[in-house]
Structure 1
Amino acid sequence: MPRPSGLGRGLASLIPTDQAADQEDLKDAVTPKSPRASKSSKGETPEGAGAAPSQFAPCSSLEPNPFQPRRVISESSIEELAASIRVHGVLQPLLVRRRGDGGYQIVAGERRWRAAMRAGLTEVPIRVVEMDDRAMREAALVENLQREDLSPLDVAESINELIQQFSATHEAIAERLGWSRSAVTNKLRLLQLPDSVKALVSSGALSEGHARALLRLPQEQMEPVARLVLQRGLSVRQTEELVRKMESPDREDEGAQRAKRAINHYPYSFADEFGVEIGMSGAQDSLTLHLRNLTKSQAHKILALVDQHRNIIFPGK
């Protein structure tokens, strides 16, 4: 069976990018209306909400999209949305498909569903659509790519899934999302980061700008330099400058300054790690550590670290 190519044509009718109302449906789906909207959990149509939703469903009958690419939903954003729902209700129906057991799977609106339960609602408005697994997965990926609060790594992974599963080209994805082709390509490059650095980006410890700067380094240098960036609180511009210097070690001072810089690049602080006093000196691409109160076990660990990170201590050698 030939592999499907491109993005599904029917998806645009469900999640159009050119209609403000549907954009709101993909975001908070709550707008300041009459306080009576808070009664929507009882099946009433809130004032000012437009046409009544197709139906209401118990919150307990819904489950998240099994193809949902979002890894983490911020608790603070759920609580903020729940506070709004307590006052205004859920004014936009959740997009769902039927399950075989009579329940529903959420296509779009998981955050609203979680916030509604947090707000104490027992029912939410839904709009039932017919979708197969392929369309369900595609809808989830595209919806998430249009969110502003999705982590850069989740975006990159979602784009990659569109490419792998639907043979979508960079150009097709860029056109669907209103991005440039280079923006799509740059997002995908984040997947080249080591898992440890990906975790820092996903958690928000490192920004996407920091990550892009680190991508210019050899793979084995990315994690230790990322730790250095966090330790020093470097800005994106400062990180780019640090990477530039590491790419051109011949421009740097020789001897002790290079040795000190190399030690500072280490992902570990020797003093904190081993509880020892440290001094150092360097000349002509050599490095000498002066350690006191060092046990044999600590010495072996330090030698192993030096060997592991020799490309940082002596870049280009």
Structure 2
Amino acid sequence: MDPTTESVLIFDSFVLDLARGVARADGVDLDLRPKSFAVLRHLAGNAGRLVSKQDLHQAVWGNVVVSDDSLVQCIRELRLKLRDDDHRIIKTVSRRGYRLDAEPMPLSHDRGSSRVSRRTSAPRVAALRLAALPRWLLVAGLSVIAFAALASVPPIANGIQRPLAELASWLAPQDHGIVPDRDVERITALAAEKQLPLPAFRVRAPANDVPDNIRRFLGVWVSDEGWINSHRQFMMIVTNVDRDGAATGYLVNGPAMPHSRTPGPGFSGGFTGYVLDDILRYDGNSGLHSASATADGRIEFKLVFREGGTGVVFLDPLWTFAHPGHVARIQP
């Protein structure tokens, strides 16, 4: 498959938007570095086939000489963002290269759509198209449909109630990993109160060999007053950490306030950062993000903007692995 002929591809449970240069999971953009996205794009364009390291170097870096470690770091970031811990999606072929073990299916063009219809059933195609949309939009639409159905003729409502419930469960799974349901409910309530667009998240238990200074970041953290000066609300969700210091999760901003630097409604995005010297750092599109623990158990989060200036926000622990069951500033 030539990825330049399609604008949107779906593989496994992810959406690769070539026109925008992003990959999405559950309707949330995965904030990949440009080189990592280029590696994913090339692997997707050769899905099911072995792609040599030399081929990837040429496709992504061209004539620029880089070490193999640059490619290894890109593959590592992709596996973290794609939740590919078991290397099920991106296979390593020892000493030769890599293979994307998932066949992308085109979404946007008629020619691509016809190929999909021959390979899979109509319900599967519909499900894949739905998966490309943000979950909140799908859940909101289902809520309207369910209300209309339940308010209509009883036999019709009774017949559609169960399929709607099953579809809603598929679109909005309740598996949040190691975070108990009661805490998820409280976190969801506070996010709604602060108008934070909470993404679908799953916190994974760290391995036993992950140091305490790394695992302390694992969990859900939220602002009380918001960003200093602007008061825009903010949340950090760290869903996975490993012993080498890699950390993945989501950064969530509420709607803009009068003095916010970036206008617009609330938004969220995935991130991959690294813990070094007890500080979680992430180099994103806006600038350099850093999170460090304070003496009173909070997180001081800083964003050094690329065009100049620094934003600061303090985060309280909502639920953390270090203090399971603790939900700050929320009462049942």
Taking structure 1 as the reference length, the TM-score comes to 0.29
Larger Rg: 1
Q: Counting helix residues as a fraction of each chain, which structure ranks higher?
A: 1
Taking structure 2 as the reference length, the TM-score comes to 0.28
Q: Counting strand residues as a fraction of each chain, which structure ranks higher?
A: 2
